[in-house]
Structure 1
Amino acid sequence: MTTFTSSLPDSLLQRLNDTAQKLKLPKNKLIEKALDIYLDQINRAEYVSSYKLAGQDQDTILIAEEGMVEYMTQLSDTDETR
């Protein structure tokens, strides 16, 4: 594990101290959990944004529609063989 040193505003450091005491967690573990959650949220937001952009791209929509036609054909073929 690597050591990381940073400066924090006094008010944020006080909130960190208070929360760490309340949760009975070391401050570094609380920071680790909070940062992990925050970075996951950023990744999810980027993922959602990419889907929104794809939803506006006509080529992507056409490919998706063609894929759905193929998928529905396969489902229909499967139903007929049962």
Structure 2
Amino acid sequence: MTTFTSSLPNELLEQLAQKSKKLGLPKNRIIERALSIYLEQLDKAEYIQSYRMAGQDEEIMNIAEEGMAEYVKQLPK
């Protein structure tokens, strides 16, 4: 594991200390988990944005519609 040093606002550090004490968890564990969750959310937002952009691309939408038409043909009647 690598050591990382950073500056944080005093108010945020106070909140972190309070949560650490209340939960009985080390501050670094809380920061690690919070950062992990935040990075996952960024990935999800990027994924959602890519779908929104694809939904506005006429060529991609045509390909998707063709694929859906083929899929519907394969469904049992």
- The TM-score range, normalised by the shorter chain, is over 0.9
Structure 2 CA distance, aligned partners of 1:46 and 1:52?
10
Structure 1 segments unaligned to the other structure (5+ residues): none
Aligned residues: 77
Matched, 1:57 2:57: yes
Structure 2 CA distance, aligned partners of 1:38 and 1:22?
22
Give matches, 1:3-82, under 5 Å.
3-75=3-75, 79=76
Structure 2 segments unaligned to the other structure (5+ residues): none
Percent of aligned positions that are identical = 58
Displacement of 1:9: 1.0
Code of the aligned partner of 2:13 = L
Code of the aligned partner of 2:20 = A
Structure 2 CA distance, aligned partners of 1:61 and 1:11?
48
Displacement of 1:73: 1.4
Displacement of 1:33: 0.5
Query: Pairwise CA RMSD of aligned residues?
Result: 1.0
| Post-superposition CA distance 1:34-59 (Å, at most 9, x none) | 00011111111111111111111100
| Equivalent position SS for 2:6 | coil
| Equivalent position SS for 2:3 | coil
Code of the aligned partner of 2:9 = P
Larger Rg: 1
